[in-house]
């Protein structure tokens, strides 16, 4: 089996949380939220973990200094999630196996979900396999676009979606397994042609599909994994879900 690498995007600020800390260091049940992510990746059998740091990177590096085997890559400007992965080009170029990309502020991530995506990749390799979920209130999340036969078409961010697209309840939770060489090629094609002027990793699956490469979106994520943290109220909801076994 080819080695598996994970890129953990951890460069952002905690502005909406009204914190001066990097967002991934905000505590969730007494531990930085990124620690829950790293636990799940280890349990899923990831061979190499790369943490992409940016805002107050010294704090993230110090917090994770005793974590075995981590590698850090600096995103000197925060120009979006796609830009974060671009910062890892050198690491990816030296890697032959599949690459998993995940946001570091996803403390509800479950090792079983990551493993299911990799199992699907191992059975039928694809340029990209992304994990999705259904959410009754999908506001703020990217929507999964499919054709009339249910095949994946692309992802549209909430802020860029039309009113019709905003009614879609299947959402992207930023769990991606990529064939590494296809990811590297697609990164060269994404552009900051959006309201935010940022490079989105969410554009990569669409680029791959337009190239005629296989891309699959699998609704395998568990209900708890759709819980995000952008406010103090959402943090309390995640902590309650963890206490109730929502992980």
C-alpha distances out from residue 147 to 154, 204, 206, Å: 10, 18, 13
**Around 208, how many Cα atoms within 13 Å sit in the side-chain half-sphere?**
29
Angle at 16 between CA 40 and CA 229, to 5 degrees: 30
The catalytic position among 4, 16, 167, 247 is 16
Asked about 16 being catalytic, the answer comes back as yes
DSSP letter at 134 equals E
Q: Write b or e for each residue in 18-52: b if 16 or more Cβ atoms lie within 10 A of its Cβ, otherwise e.
A: eeebbbbbbebeeebbbbbbbebbeebebebbbbb
Degrees to nearest 5, angle at CA 23 with 59 and 100: 95
Look at residues 100, 87, 77 and name the one whose alpha carbon lies nearest to residue 197: 77
Task: In whole angstroms, give the CA distance from residue 8 to residue 186.
Answer: 19
Q: Where in the sequence numbering do the catalytic residues fall?
A: 16
């Amino acid at each position: 089996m080819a080695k598996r690498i994970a890129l953990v995007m951890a460069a952002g600020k905690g502005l909406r949380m009204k914190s001066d800390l990097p967002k991934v260091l905000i505590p969730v049940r007494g531990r930085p939220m990124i620690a829950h992510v790293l636990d799940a990746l280890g349990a899923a059998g990831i061979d190499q973990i790369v943490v992409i740091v940016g805002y107050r990177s010294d704090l993230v590096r110090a917090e994770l200094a005793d974590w075995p085997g981590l590698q850090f890559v600096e995103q000197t400007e925060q120009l979006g999630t796609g830009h974060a992965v671009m910062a890892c080009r050198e690491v990816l170029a030296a890697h032959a196996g599949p690459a998993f990309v995940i946001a570091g502020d996803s403390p509800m991530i479950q090792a079983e979900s990551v493993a299911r995506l990799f199992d699907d990749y191992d059975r039928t390799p694809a340029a990209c396999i992304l994990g999705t979920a259904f959410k009754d209130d999908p506001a703020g999340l990217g929507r999964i676009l499919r054709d009339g036969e249910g095949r994946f078409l692309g992802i549209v961010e909430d802020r860029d979606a039309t009113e019709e697209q905003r009614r879609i309840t299947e959402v992207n939770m930023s769990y991606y397994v990529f064939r590494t060489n296809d990811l590297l090629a697609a990164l060269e094609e994404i552009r900051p042609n959006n309201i935010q002027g940022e490079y989105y990793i969410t554009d990569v699956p669409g680029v791959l599909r337009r190239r005629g490469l296989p891309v699959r979106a699998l609704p395998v994520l568990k209900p708890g994994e759709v819980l995000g943290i952008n406010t103090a109220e959402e943090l309390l909801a995640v902590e309650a879900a963890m206490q109730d076994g929502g992980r």
